Structure 1
Amino acid sequence: MAVNPETPKGRAPSIRDVARLAEVSHQTVSRVLNDHPSIRPETKERVLQAMETLQYRPNRAARALVTSRSHTIGVLASTGTAYGPATSIAAIEDAAREHGYYVNTANLADASPAGIADALEHLMLQAIEGLVVIAPQVRVFEVLAASPIGVPFVSLQSTGRSDHLALSVDQVTGARRATQHLVSLGHREIVHIAGPQDWIEAEARMRGFLDAIDDADLSLHPPILGDWSADFGYFAGRELARHLDFTAVFAANDQMAIGLMHAFRDAGLDVPGDLSVVGFDDIPVARHVWPPLTTVYQDFREIGRRAVALLLNQVHGREVLEVEEIVPRLVIRGSSAEASARRPRYASVTDSA
């Protein structure tokens, strides 16, 4: 790029540099930045051309001081690296950018009340205009309820609270459908590997499982509390394989389901010949494991887009959009099949060898 003699050297270009090159006042440049209606089209074009020549980028902090608007959305996330939250955050960033907003994300490395409060304070210091909460632990909402946030916020989990809008997937229905699928295949002894306690999604998925078991009038195996990881799924699978008093497992997420299938394979068990497995989330790798995983699909990108639309409507004082709960759908693949005619084996694999 050719260097313009007006281009400042050794520092970023300022609004006064733009004004000098466009031969207007710096107040005129400011009006162009704020899309003031009194600016003539030819003047606006000249200012924009000068900005492009100098590669000038407005200082958001400075503009916020003048306009009292930061054009920034905050995202409070406790699991930003997991597939679902990471996909929703990417969709939030895309949708916010389309509306001229930036996104500042605070990931909760420390999920203690003090850690949650610190992350929230970090976002407030950025003068955010609204907040999206992707932190599905009950304690997060307890801290939020006790904090003077002062800006609208939307959560991606249905909490039953009335102090904010909640946009969520109907986790209960999704889990119920996953369990009903196994029941429809003739399974009568079904185990549930749940997510961790205090997680709203884990509790909802467990409730859907329990409802389906109750509806089918089946005996209940006590749910196993997991931690969402494939490592835990593998550990649980190794333990479950020692006492085969079941024919199917519904895992609360795909990572645990994949670890579970790995453990069953290592124990010499066939999925779905001996045991059926169903997960939840439909992460990209679910269709590529062997056998491909039957799971429950939820559209994380759509959730992110809807969250931004709901939030900005509140920020701008518009009519609140109707919040429709998103119903997930069952995706049937190769990891689930009809129950074997044999009864569950109550002896361990080791003992029966």
Structure 2
Amino acid sequence: MADDKAARTANIFDVARLAGVSHQTVSRVLNNMPNVRPATRARVEQAIAQLRYSPSPAARALVTRRTRTIGLVTPGSVDYGPSSIAMNFNFAARAARYNVDAISSPQGDAVAVRAAIDGLLKQRVDAIVLIVVDTEVLASVQALDLDIPIVASATTSRPHPRLVAIDQYRAARSAVRHLREAGYGPIRHIAGPARNPDAVERIRGWREELASSRSESTALVHGDWSAESGYRIASEADIAPGEGIFVANDHMAIGVLSALRERGLRVPEDVGVVGIDDVPEAAFLYPSLTTVRQDFAALGEILMQKVLLAVEEPDTVSESTPLPTRLVVRDSAPAERPTGSRRSR
């Protein structure tokens, strides 16, 4: 019974784990490629036999037509999150001996992204990876039916076999919970763009964490991920001593810290601030920024694993659990609001 189950469910990654090699090595053995040591080849073949693994006919048919090139569609921005995802995906693709043909889509809407995809299809890429920053693009991606695999980095509350994401919902809840438990309140949220999937999930996490603890909130305001927008919003908002501010990314939080300082509001004594991303500068700000770290390196690797599985095993359905995040506590919102603070109004 166990062997029958293994025969039905084993994939190239199962073989790699059992043989103690990379999935790239398994692929080279399957395709009878050179540069594999005899002992390694024997170990892979033994694992294949033990698992009774057989690549799908569709994958075999694709072998002779592969270009070992992946198309990557990125948004037309230099925002830290998408840029980090693209960089780490490139690293993972290179490690798997794939080339990446990247196209930037400055408009970022569904029409522009579809045009970018069409351009990549003409280059005969083996698969396409999208970094999605717009909810309309996400909807259109999920509806696409192409002859090659398409995988996306996109946050959604509904899992999808070809989507890979970091858990923005729980990241937001952890940030808000930390501010609340440290003694700050009410807790306002400076959100990202209204149509950005990450921003949407962070808003959902903020709202549900406050609702679960029956905590007070303030009006939601949207920024554009830039430090300038964070500065402008914090300069104009009616922020009272005692509040906590959950900012949807670190660059906006940098602007928030500057505005609060100009207004004479002390951080963390008067106001607590938490961001998301853990950009390299976060630890060196004054005060250093409490934030939620995202593992972009792991995301890039999982994106590449999804691509390889889709190319090698097109009939396999494999949903991904969103990657966890980690709260990094620093001076802008310590574990406990400092004593001697001004009284909240």
**TM-score of Structure 1 vs Structure 2, range by shorter chain:** 0.7 to 0.9
Identify if the C-alpha distance between structure 1 residues 188 and 120 changes in structure 2 by more than 3 Å, giving closer, same or farther.
same
Q: Which has the higher contact order (CA 8 A, sep 6+)?
A: 2
1:198-347 equivalences in 2 (<5 Å):
198-240=195-237, 242-244=238-240, 247-317=243-313, 319=316, 323-337=320-334, 338-339=336-337, 342-345=342-345
- Structure 2 residue 114 is matched with structure 1 residue 109: no
CA–CA distance in structure 2, aligned partners of residues 245 and 179 of structure 1: 17
Percent identity of paired positions between Structure 1 and Structure 2 = 34
CA–CA distance in structure 2, aligned partners of residues 271 and 181 of structure 1: 15
Q: Residue by residue, what CA displacement relative to the aligned partner does 1:210-236 show, whole Å, maximum 9, x if unpaired?
A: 111111211221211111111000001
Report the alpha carbon displacement of residue 246 of structure 1 after superposing the two structures with TM: 5.5
Letter of the aligned partner of 1:70 in structure 2?
T
Q: Helix, strand or coil: the match of 1:264?
A: helix
Letter of the aligned partner of 1:196 in structure 2?
P
Moved more, 297-306 or 150-159: 150-159
Residue 50 of structure 1 corresponds to which residue in structure 2? none
CA–CA distance in structure 2, aligned partners of residues 246 and 132 of structure 1: 44
Letter of the aligned partner of 1:84 in structure 2?
G
Report the alpha carbon displacement of residue 83 of structure 1 after superposing the two structures with TM: 2.0
Letter of the aligned partner of 1:220 in structure 2?
S
Answer yes or no: is the 8 Å Cα contact 2:159–2:319 preserved in 1.
Answer: no
CA–CA distance in structure 2, aligned partners of residues 36 and 303 of structure 1: 29
Answer yes or no: is the 8 Å Cα contact 2:230–2:256 preserved in 1.
Answer: yes
- How many residue pairs are counted as aligned between the two chains? 284
Of 177, 181, 184 in structure 2, the residue corresponding to residue 184 of structure 1 is 181
- Structure 2 residue 156 is matched with structure 1 residue 159: yes
Residue 99 of structure 1 corresponds to which residue in structure 2? 96
Letter of the aligned partner of 2:307 in structure 1?
L
Residue 140 of structure 1 corresponds to which residue in structure 2? 137
- Structure 2 residue 121 is matched with structure 1 residue 124: yes
Q: 5+ unaligned residues in a row in structure 2: which ranges?
A: 1-30, 35-62
Letter of the aligned partner of 1:68 in structure 2?
R
Letter of the aligned partner of 2:118 in structure 1?
E
CA–CA distance in structure 1, aligned partners of residues 239 and 89 of structure 2: 45
Q: 5+ unaligned residues in a row in structure 1: which ranges?
A: 1-33, 38-65, 346-353
Report the alpha carbon displacement of residue 36 of structure 1 after superposing the two structures with TM: 6.2
Answer yes or no: is the 8 Å Cα contact 1:74–1:130 preserved in 2.
Answer: yes
Give the alignment's TM-score, normalised by structure 2: 0.76
Report the alpha carbon displacement of residue 113 of structure 1 after superposing the two structures with TM: 3.1
- Structure 2 residue 83 is matched with structure 1 residue 86: yes
Give the alignment's TM-score, normalised by structure 1: 0.74
Answer yes or no: is the 8 Å Cα contact 1:79–1:135 preserved in 2.
Answer: no
Report the alpha carbon displacement of residue 161 of structure 1 after superposing the two structures with TM: 6.2
CA–CA distance in structure 1, aligned partners of residues 114 and 80 of structure 2: 25
Identify if the C-alpha distance between structure 1 residues 246 and 273 changes in structure 2 by more than 3 Å, giving closer, same or farther.
closer
Q: Helix, strand or coil: the match of 1:292?
A: coil
Moved more, 258-267 or 212-221: 212-221
Q: Helix, strand or coil: the match of 2:256?
A: helix
Identify if the C-alpha distance between structure 1 residues 282 and 79 changes in structure 2 by more than 3 Å, giving closer, same or farther.
farther
Answer yes or no: is the 8 Å Cα contact 2:241–2:271 preserved in 1.
Answer: no
Report the alpha carbon displacement of residue 94 of structure 1 after superposing the two structures with TM: 1.8
Identify if the C-alpha distance between structure 1 residues 212 and 343 changes in structure 2 by more than 3 Å, giving closer, same or farther.
farther
Letter of the aligned partner of 1:279 in structure 2?
G
Q: Helix, strand or coil: the match of 1:220?
A: coil
Report the alpha carbon displacement of residue 79 of structure 1 after superposing the two structures with TM: 5.2
Q: Residue by residue, what CA displacement relative to the aligned partner does 1:51-87 show, whole Å, maximum 9, x if unpaired?
A: xxxxxxxxxxxxxxx9421211111221552222222
Report the alpha carbon displacement of residue 321 of structure 1 after superposing the two structures with TM: 5.1
Letter of the aligned partner of 2:265 in structure 1?
L
Moved more, 178-187 or 217-226: 217-226
Residue 49 of structure 1 corresponds to which residue in structure 2? none
CA–CA distance in structure 2, aligned partners of residues 342 and 162 of structure 1: 45
- Between structure 1 and structure 2, the one with the greater Rg is 1
Letter of the aligned partner of 2:66 in structure 1?
R
Letter of the aligned partner of 1:264 in structure 2?
L
Answer yes or no: is the 8 Å Cα contact 2:161–2:318 preserved in 1.
Answer: no
CA–CA distance in structure 1, aligned partners of residues 327 and 231 of structure 2: 23
Moved more, 326-335 or 83-92: 83-92
